[in-house]
């Protein structure tokens, strides 16, 4: 078991929670279309104990650059075929680590929804893989010049 509480840490003192009341909530990301990078994924179970794969999508442009949103793909009996098609279209295998790939550029659509607790939440609705924006390159998503005879390094159906 990892102990995350370290009472001997130098940055902690007796009143390290003195600013607790001053901490502001995180501003939600408004509904819209965003360009980002897929930074990881993990398998887990949701609050209803349904298996899912949670993808982390980091925004890379605009005022919300650096913010990370989550996208859920369910792995239930009914959802498996659709989720398999999604991962195949992204050109990734969720059993592997994101570190096995070069940057995976994505475009995603976010909506804002009301939660059961009365707060609003940003919810990622769709994710699709894209060619890196101009000026951004990765080995995995090279864009050969038209007519050069070179093949893209992306697998078929990656877009």
d(C-alpha 122, C-alpha 28), whole Å: 6
Query: Could you tell me the pLDDT band of residue 15, with boundaries at 50, 70 and 90?
Result: low
Query: What are the residue ranges spanned by the domains of the chain?
Result: 26-129
Of residues 2, 68, 72, 69, the one with CA closest to residue 42 = 72
As a whole number, mean pLDDT of residues 54-78 equals 93
CATH code: domain 26-129 is 2.40.50
Phi, psi for residue 98 in degrees, rounded to 5: -60, -25
In this prediction, residues 30-46 reach a mean pLDDT of 93
pLDDT tens-digit profile of 98-147?
999 989 999 999 999 998 888 888 989 999 999 988 777 654 433 333 33
Q: How confident is the model at residue 16 (pLDDT cuts 50, 70, 90)?
A: low
- Residue 68: CB partners within 8 Å, gap ≥ 6? 39, 56, 57, 58, 59
| Number of Cβ atoms within 10 Å of the Cβ of 89 | 16
């Amino acid at each position: 078991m990892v102990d995350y509480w370290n009472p001997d840490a130098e940055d902690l003192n007796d009143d390290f929670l003195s600013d607790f009341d001053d901490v502001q909530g995180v501003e939600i990301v408004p509904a819209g279309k965003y360009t980002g990078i897929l930074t990881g994924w993990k398998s887990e179970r949701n609050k209803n104990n349904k298996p899912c794969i949670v993808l982390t999508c980091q925004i890379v442009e605009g005022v919300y650059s650096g913010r990370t949103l989550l996208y859920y793909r369910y792995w239930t009996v009914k959802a498996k075929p659709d989720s398999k098609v999604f991962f195949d279209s992204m050109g990734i295998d969720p059993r592997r680590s994101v570190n096995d790939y070069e940057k995976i550029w994505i475009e995603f659509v976010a909506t804002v929804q009301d939660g059961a607790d009365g707060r609003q939440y940003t919810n990622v609705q769709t994710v699709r893989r894209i060619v890196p924006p101009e000026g951004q390159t990765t080995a995995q998503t090279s864009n050969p010049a038209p007519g050069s005879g070179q093949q893209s390094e992306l697998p078929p159906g990656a877009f």
